[in-house]
Amino acid sequence: MIDLNAVSILPMRESDLVEIQDIEEMEYAGDDTYMVEDLRSIIESTSNNIKYRATVARYNGQVVGYQIILIINSMEFIKSIMRFYVVEDYRRMGVGSLLMSATTPKITGDRVMVEIPEDDYGFAAFLRKNGFIVTEVVANEYEEDVEVEMEGYFSFTNEKKARMTRERRNLWRAK
Ligand SMILES: CC(C)(COP(=O)(O)OP(=O)(O)OC[C@H]1O[C@@H](n2cnc3c(N)ncnc32)[C@H](O)[C@@H]1OP(=O)(O)O)[C@@H](O)C(=O)NCCC(=O)NCCS
């Protein structure tokens, strides 16, 4: 186990990028890995339409997790998680939850969304534990020869809801 008090959650910086690229290539190894140039364009983005929030979790001088969030400026209340990753050797120690706590919606109506593969049960369990619910299920699309044309996915959302008023709660109970 690690001391979570010694884990720092910091904005992603130039000095983190090579380390993150290594994790993307060696460990994550998905088909949409982020290279240094991609990460740099994210942290240096000056677009008028979108912005990114990129954060790293550092422990003992090492990147142990990171997340990249996209926000469309005209819909600031929605945050879309583009990448959320904890290094394998540091999982099930609370690092992911600590990283996610920086993103948890705090104002009523704010929401955080993420799409994950249908069979990523560990990630799904983690999201449920962190207040997300499934808001959309998109099934695999198949070609005629039964090859998968498009992989299905689950959309998970964590939305800060208004507290239910007493009147509303009583109405609900009466049904
Ligand atoms: C999902 C992930 C972020 C979890 O990070 P983590 O640091 O291990 O999470 P935490 O330690 O904060 O877990 C909190 C709780 O979530 C649940 N949880 C986390 N991982 C789980 C798993 N693999 N299976 C079941 N439950 C899990 C547990 O309830 C856990 O509490 P517990 O350990 O006390 O039982 C990490 O496993 C990961 O990065 N996976 C790869 C995700 C990925 O592929 N990202 C790329 C696409 S965006």
CA distances from 43 to 16, 148, 154 (A): 11, 35, 27
User: In the prediction, which pLDDT does 103 show?
Assistant: 92
User: In the prediction, which pLDDT does 175 show?
Assistant: 63
Q: What's the CATH number of domain 1-103, 3.30.70.20, 3.40.630.30, 3.40.430.10, 3.30.1330.180? A: 3.40.630.30
Give per-residue pLDDT as tens, 10-46: 999 999 999 999 999 999 988 899 999 999 999 999 9
Long-range contacts formed by 40-45: CB under 8 A, 24+ apart: 40/14, 42/12, 42/68, 43/11, 43/12, 43/13, 43/14, 43/17
CA distances from 6 to 103, 130, 158 (A): 19, 21, 27
CA distances from 104 to 8, 143, 149 (A): 17, 39, 34
Nearest ligand 1 atom to the CA of 82 is 48
For residue 164, the CA-to-ligand 1 centroid distance in Å is: 30
- Which ranges in the chain are annotated with CATH 3.40.630.30? 1-103
User: In the prediction, which pLDDT does 165 show?
Assistant: 81
Task: Give the pocket of ligand 1 (CB within 6 Å).
Answer: 28, 83-86, 91-97, 122-123, 125-126, 129
Residues of the chain with pLDDT under 70: 174-175
Count CB atoms within 10 A of the CB of residue 106.
7
Strands 111-117 and 78-86, by their bridges, are parallel
User: In the prediction, which pLDDT does 143 show?
Assistant: 85
For residue 165, the CA-to-ligand 1 centroid distance in Å is: 34
